[in-house]
Chain A
Amino acid sequence: MKNIIKYNLILLAIFVFACKPNKKFEGPELSDLYGDFKIIDSLICSIDSVDFSINQPIFFKAKFTKAVDWKISIKGLSSGAEKIINGKSKLIEITNSFWTGNTSTLPMFTSENCLVSLTFLTEKDTLNSSVKVIKPKINSGYLIADFESGYNNLWTKFVQSGASMDCQIRNVKPIPQGDNFYNMAGTVNWDWLVSLIDFNANANGVDRFPLNTNPNNIYFNAMVWGEPGLDNTLLLFQFKEDDNTNGTFESSSEDQYDYQLKIDWSGWKLISIKYSDLGTLVNGEPAIPKGNKQRNPNNLVRLSVLHLADPSSGFAKTKIDYLIFTDSKSLEP
């Protein structure tokens, strides 16, 4: 019996020591959750200046004693653009702080100096650094209008003869992109339509806008201003297709798709919609398109932007800028 017990103990010892766990602990480190917070490495930018037009990469670095919720704010000192990057970690590095030159809130970055600030949700510390944007990022897509070259005479404009009508290109800051935007404002007390502007394909030197045939791959993007204190503006985008490819849009027999917005915000905002999500509206109510009833972005010949407001609501105002179609995903300005 003694031998059996002895062999059992030897076997047990071999088994236990041969099968030691290969990890020391499971789960996140408690020091990350409950330890004291200290900054080990202060905030630095991977490069001092960056050219986003050639897709030059930039990221930020910092190190702490525990994992914390942090926020990096990059603020354009000229444009006022701001990019926010959030995370929770004890290390800020390329994988969690990569910046492509885009903005979180309009306007877009321009060639300018930027202030970079690192703050924490649960700590009082703030770390600062700076970076210079040599050239801003170039957005891929098909641009309809950014108003940087002035008014194109092949666009069509209609402005009601109301009071305080101001429908023209302006350059009053803030401007979301470039130096100009298109202003739409006025008081019309007998009709919903305040003004409209048609962006015709021939103004861009093409018969139809050269877009992808698949409406699921095409996104329409525009930067739209909401006037502080006013929420009576409706903005109606009309997408007019030349289904029979004869060079013109015929409203009685061809498809028109619509996207109507109630502007109830203040300041600039990027709006984006997938072409396949557009519907047809008549007086704001869903309707059946009159053409082939298929969304054909490649047949788009005219984009109309109508500024509408309840006649009894008085003065209405909005601004638009940077109307652009993008492929596969919405615009990341």
Chain B
Amino acid sequence: MSAVLKILSAGPMLTVQDLGRPGLAAQGLSRGGAQDTLALWEAAALLGLSAPVAGIEMPGMGGRFTVTEKTRVALTGAPMRASLDGRPVPWHSALSLAPGEVLSVGGVSSGTTGYLTPGGGIASEPVLGSRATHLAVRIGALLTEAEALPLGKDRAASAPPQVLRVAPRFEGGQIRILPGPQTELFSPEQIRAFEAASFTRGPRSNRQAIQMMSEAEPLWHMASGGMASEPIQAGDIQITGDGTPFVLGAECQTIGGYPRIGSVHPEDMPKLVQAGAESPLSFRFADPAPLPTGAERLRALRRAITPLLRDPATIPDLLSYQLISGVTAGDDLERD
């Protein structure tokens, strides 16, 4: 029997995610996939893979996991309190998990959503070319306690543990946005008001859209006025009926009628989805800069990986060790 990852307990919103199903929007299916795609690329870099594989997305809260064969797991995205058989282990890392050992992943310490990616990926049966659960259209479902997920072969199950220095993206900040087909319907004053406002993530946020709440008067409000619905995609910023902006998420619908002021720069989507309710966000129009190819992205990430010098099991003050390694991160990944 091939290896499985057993879920001993599950947080409320765990799903299997990969990079989703591009190319099916004409048939009404949005791409879906991980909310923070960078976290899957980070996992691929840590695991020495040539492309992201399917892992577990863990919004807010993780779970307890064990495996039937030795495998590595990468822990990426929002930092979460994690331990292996009770010993704290660092986040932004890849570690070996032996059969019988229990990996516990608690709540996020900053950001919104962490990821657990096994060394060979989760090998569930793909649907339409992807293993990603798409809750909105009922492909796949939330993961639950006692579930067992098939694992792909980890070709380096005993590789020494590694850690990744990450650029900060878990506390909000400024988000670059790009113009879209309806941007010019908004007046310069409306654009200025939108750029000047400070937003936080609202409670009506999920994998379909992220609600942007603000104390500022919504001068950017715009009535749709009978416009025919148009193609929409993740990152688009819809201005809904009462002026509340919603940033469309991975599981958004494929056509919609609300006016859209612009689209989040794809490189800033991870920062947007990782901003918790307390983290202020603001938006600023920017020019489209070319995105790195997958290979370029992996090369840059690999340069930020270092061996975890000591076995985590032998380091008594591991939490402080992790904090030191975390704050040394530069923002080199965001610079060209």
A binds B: no
Chain B: residues with CB nearer than 8 A to chain A?
none
